[in-house]
Amino acid sequence: MVELDPLIRAFYAERYVEDDRLARSGHGQLEFLRTQELVRRYLPGPGATVLDVGGATGVHARWLAADGYDVTLVDPVEEHVAKAAELGTFAAMAGDARKLEQEDDSVDVTLLLGPLYHLVEQADRAQALAEARRVTRPGGLVVAAGISRYAGLLEYGTKGMLTGETLQMFTDALTTGRNYDEPNGFTNAYFHHADELRAEFGEAGFADIEVLAVEGPAAATLEHSSPEDVPRLLPSALHLARLLENDPRVMSTSFHFLAIGHVI
């Protein structure tokens, strides 16, 4: 079994259904469509090899394989890997972003769409980025997701759940970036500022770094919309996300960021 924070393992193995996370709410659909279009914007052509680290049950690996990429998914939660393997269109194996089994320079693209926000220590995130860089060939690409430092406040504030009892937890998290397992619906995680994620990519030695907002400012509205309202609201939310993806004044209202860096 891959070594993993037991609270994170229990969250995914016992309490959380990852498989349809990006389909069951309007916010999830927005996150999926925007992640897909941003990753597609940077990928080399079909046939390239893509390592999807923290790929869970294959939500991105399945369309990447359908697009013609040679995909290997890695995830430490065995239940995720088993579910991903059932799809049969890509390879799936257990592993940890901090200690990949892949050879040096062996893939064209490494995706870290999950591991960085579950590695709460900066040294662990640096190790995961160093591993991504090691296995990705020179000229290749590393794309990593981060969660915005303000995500907890935005989600709970717009849900009307910020009360005298919970406020301290969220204001503390603004300083530390730490989200603790329970009581607020997620598990142990680290929430980035956009410029901090960019700096971590810089320290890892990537070139031509970009950090973009994934969902933009309308995600909270979609999170709380009824399913029948989503088709009416999603196109405007997508439009806003595209318009403001690179605006430093508003990008932190996005729940997720994507950092893109090139290996030199």
Ligand X SMILES: C[S@@+](CC[C@H](N)C(=O)[O-])C[C@H]1O[C@@H](n2cnc3c(N)ncnc32)[C@H](O)[C@@H]1O
Residues making contact with ligand X (CB under 6 A): 8, 12, 18, 22, 53-56, 59-60, 75-77, 80, 96-98, 113-115, 118-119
d(CA 179, CA 190): 6
Min. distance of Cβ 52 from ligand X in angstroms?
7
**69 close to 49: Cβ distance less than 8 angstroms:** yes
Residue (98 or 198) nearer to ligand X, CB: 98
Min. distance of Cβ 163 from ligand X in angstroms?
26
Min. distance of Cβ 2 from ligand X in angstroms?
8
Which of these, 186, 184, 48, lies nearest to 114 by C-alpha position? Answer: 186
Residue (144 or 164) nearer to ligand X, CB: 144
Residue (48 or 119) nearer to ligand X, CB: 119
Min. distance of Cβ 244 from ligand X in angstroms?
21
d(CA 76, CA 6): 11
Residue (149 or 256) nearer to ligand X, CB: 256
d(CA 95, CA 73): 9
Residue (106 or 162) nearer to ligand X, CB: 106
Residue (114 or 140) nearer to ligand X, CB: 114
Min. distance of Cβ 259 from ligand X in angstroms?
14
* Strands (DSSP E) found in the chain: 49-53, 70-75, 91-94, 107-112, 136-148, 178-179, 189-192, 207-213, 256-262
Residue (23 or 229) nearer to ligand X, CB: 23
Tell me the residue nearest to ligand X as measured from the CB.
Answer: 114
Min. distance of Cβ 249 from ligand X in angstroms?
26
What are the two backbone dihedrals, phi and then psi, of residue 112, each rounded to the nearest 5 degrees?
Answer: -125, 70
CA–chain centroid gap for 46, Å, is: 22
List helix spans (H) across 69-223.
78-87, 115-118, 122-135, 151-158, 164-176, 194-203, 219-223
Which of these, 32, 3, 18, 5, lies nearest to 79 by C-alpha position? Answer: 18
Min. distance of Cβ 45 from ligand X in angstroms?
22
